[in-house]
Amino acid sequence: MPKIKYRFTFFQRLALSHLIVSLLILALLSMGFAYYVKQQVYDSVTQELNNSAKVVSKLLSKDEENSGPQVQNYRNLLNERKISFILFNKTGEVLFSDPNMPAALLGKPFLDSLRARISSIQNNESFIVSRNIPEPLVVLGKTIKPRSEKGDMHLFIFSPLEGYKETLQTFYDALLFMIAIVFLLAVFVSLLISRNISKSIQPLRQATRQIAAGDYAARLPVNRTDELGDLAADFNSMAAQLEASSNMLGQYENRRRQFIMDVTHELRTPLTSIRGIIEGLKNDLVAEQEERYRYYGIIEKETFRLIRLINELLDMEKIESGMISLAKKHTPLRELMEIVAESLEVLVEEKNLQIIIECEPGLQVYGDYDRLTQILLNLVKNSIQFTQYGSIRLKGSETNTETRIEISDTGRGMSSEELSLIWERFYKADPSRTKSNSETGLGLSIVKQLVEAHQGTIEVQSAPGLGSVFIVSMPKEERQSALPQSERGLSSS
């Protein structure tokens, strides 16, 4: 059978980590307190033995015959404080021992343990002896140099750690009680903090699920000033960007679908018309020569319409794939304007409009001749399309570094919403005019990319009912671009 692995939640992991840290701190504090208490008891007894050893050493350093009674008297005083001592000579023989000591202390194991330290113990060094005796002893060793010539003597003075175990046990009981209280408080606080943090993460999980489900309007309340608050703010910023991208993709997809429908219709209508005319001519349904010439004209017109549509699609594809090269040179701007006005003369006359050119004959524009012509043609045709009466003005001027081209009209103008969309592909400001004018929504998008390929800029100023002004600024010479030409989508030659 497969093993079932338990999955810890974030709340459980956080609470467990807090408890582990709390237990580690309690363990370290307990060990520290225990060591401190032991050391305090040991230091207290050692200090008392050290003072007593000084007195005994001073008495024994005098003449032995005179010091005997004084040592005996002091020994009686030490017995009341449960302090005893043993005196060895340098060979390890016992010179003096307290007869009131317990029998276990007068036994061979205890005396041998003291003799073993005669040669190695340092003056006033203390240690604890607990083996083979009923109660642990604190022993302090000291070397005495008497005035007589019998050699050094070694004094071991000791005292039982009376109540030591009871004191430690009482301390441990109190410490365990404190540990239990602190542990319970740590459990409560860790659960409270973990629950609070886990509760703060729940909205993030819910909002993330909403985003994953496609609801990009999900937002988090930013009511904290810590890292979780920063995370909520970053999440909201990400969600806003996703929502904007989703809306933009939705708009693009809608325009793409509309574009496909329009292209399908535009291709089907002229092809159907051409097919019907060809069948009529083939079956001799059109007998008169004039009628035949008129149908030939219709075929030619529909063919031009198809070519125009296909050329725009190819231009867009070439621009996006970086397959267009620019042969830049200086060209008289007025000449370009006159050629564009002449090419669109039929459209202008059909709507009783007027094209006005304001440009000095010597003004030059730097760029690819064919692409500059395409830019002006698309902009002027756009103005003709949305102008019902009045005029279209083409104006040229220059600064020290740029050549400026203005195409203004007296048309219907554009709203702020339309101004924000006119450069996007497939966008048509007046969809109702699509069928009659074969508009694809690619003209202005192509214009913008061609202007930027020339390292220029284009902007538009418009208001509903007040006409529009397109301003194209072209550099007078080649500029050093920050991006390689392959990344700009076009190349210059």
Residue 487, pLDDT > 50, answer: no
Model confidence at 104, pLDDT cuts 50, 70, 90, reads low
DSSP character for 88? Answer: E
Provide the pLDDT for residue 434.
45
Residue 76, pLDDT > 90, answer: no
Provide the pLDDT for residue 82.
77
The residues that bridge with 368 in the sheet, in sequence order, are: 328
Provide the pLDDT for residue 109.
75
Collapsed DSSP state (helix, strand, coil) of residue 353:
coil
User: Phi, psi (5° rounding) for residue 446?
Assistant: -65, -40
Provide the pLDDT for residue 484.
41
Residue 13, pLDDT > 80, answer: no
Write the CB contacts of 197 (distance below 8 Å, at least 6 apart in sequence): 14, 228
Residue 485, pLDDT > 50, answer: no
CA distances to 36, 38, 40, 179, 184 from 171, rounded to whole Å, are: 11, 10, 13, 12, 20
Q: What's the pTM value of the predicted model, to 2 decimals?
A: 0.44
Pick from 439, 414, 419, 417: nearest CA to 428: 439
Determine the average pLDDT of the residues in 254-277.
76
**One-letter amino acid for residue 264 of the chain:** T
d(CA 109, CA 151): 25
User: Phi, psi (5° rounding) for residue 68?
Assistant: -55, -55
Provide the pLDDT for residue 396.
93
298 burial (CB, 10 Å; 0-12 / 13-18 / 19+) is middle
Residue 491, pLDDT > 50, answer: no
Pick from 374, 326, 328: nearest CA to 490: 326
The DSSP string of 120-164 is: TPPTTEEEEE-TTSSS-EEEEEEEE--SSSS--EEEEEEEE-TTH
Residue 301, pLDDT > 70, answer: yes
Residue 352, pLDDT > 80, answer: yes
Q: CA dihedral defined by 49, 52, 53, 56, rounded to 10 degrees?
A: -150
Determine the average pLDDT of the residues in 419-448.
66
pLDDT tens column, 450-462: 888 888 999 999 8
Which range is least confidently modeled, 126-135, 214-223, 441-450? 126-135
CA distances to 114, 153, 365 from 337, rounded to whole Å, are: 121, 127, 11
Query: Half-sphere exposure of 74 toward its Cβ, with a 13 Å CA cutoff?
Result: 17
Provide the pLDDT for residue 30.
78
Query: Half-sphere exposure of 222 toward its Cβ, with a 13 Å CA cutoff?
Result: 13
Model confidence at 192, pLDDT cuts 50, 70, 90, reads confident
Q: Does 40-167 carry CATH code 3.30.450.20? A: yes
Residue 318, pLDDT > 50, answer: yes
Residue 251, pLDDT > 70, answer: yes
Collapsed DSSP state (helix, strand, coil) of residue 52:
helix
Determine the average pLDDT of the residues in 310-314.
75
Model confidence at 493, pLDDT cuts 50, 70, 90, reads very low
DSSP character for 6? Answer: -
Q: Residue 475: left if φ>0, alpha if ψ -120 to 50, beta else—which one? A: beta
Determine the average pLDDT of the residues in 375-393.
89
CB 26 within 8 A of CB 182: yes
The residues that bridge with 139 in the sheet, in sequence order, are: 127, 158
Residue 1, pLDDT > 60, answer: no
Q: Kindly report each contact of residues 345-353 with a partner whose C-beta sits within 8 Å and lies 24 or more positions away, as own/partner.
A: 347/381, 347/384, 348/384, 348/392, 351/384, 351/387, 351/388, 351/389, 352/389, 353/384, 353/387, 353/389, 353/390, 353/391, 353/392
Q: Kindly report each contact of residues 117-123 with a partner whose C-beta sits within 8 Å and lies 24 or more positions away, as own/partner.
A: 117/141, 117/156, 118/88, 118/90, 118/92, 118/154, 121/154
d(CA 353, CA 360): 23
Determine the average pLDDT of the residues in 40-65.
74
Model confidence at 470, pLDDT cuts 50, 70, 90, reads very high
Residue 472, pLDDT > 80, answer: yes
Give the length of the chain.
493
Pick from 159, 122, 164: nearest CA to 47: 159
How much is the mean pLDDT over the chain? Answer: 77
Q: CA dihedral defined by 425, 426, 430, 431, rounded to 10 degrees?
A: -170
Which range is least confidently modeled, 155-169, 393-407, 421-435? 421-435
Q: Which of 131-145, 277-291, 357-371 has the highest mean pLDDT?
A: 357-371
CA distances to 57, 122, 141, 484 from 110, rounded to whole Å, are: 22, 19, 14, 95
- CATH T-level topology, domain 326-477: Heat Shock Protein 90 (3.30.565)
Please state the domain extents for the chain. 40-167, 216-324, 326-477
Residue 98, pLDDT > 80, answer: no
d(CA 105, CA 457): 108
Which range is least confidently modeled, 56-65, 86-95, 328-337, 339-348? 56-65
The DSSP string of 176-241 is: HHHHHHHHHHHHHHHHHHHHHHHHHHHHHHHHHHHHHTT-TT-------SSHHHHHHHHHHHHHHH
Determine the average pLDDT of the residues in 136-158.
75
Provide the pLDDT for residue 478.
74
Determine the average pLDDT of the residues in 71-94.
76
Q: Which of 51-55, 309-313, 473-477 has the highest mean pLDDT?
A: 473-477
Higher pLDDT, 383 or 292: 383
Higher pLDDT, 493 or 471: 471
- Alpha-helical (H) ranges within 354-402 are 369-385
Residue 366, pLDDT > 80, answer: yes
CATH number for 216-324 (one of 1.20.120.1200, 1.10.287.130, 3.90.1750.10, 3.90.320.10): it is 1.10.287.130
CB 360 within 8 A of CB 426: no
d(CA 459, CA 423): 10
Q: How many contiguous H segments (helices) and E segments (strands) does the chain have?
A: 14, 14
Rg (CA), the chain: 53
CB 362 within 8 A of CB 398: no
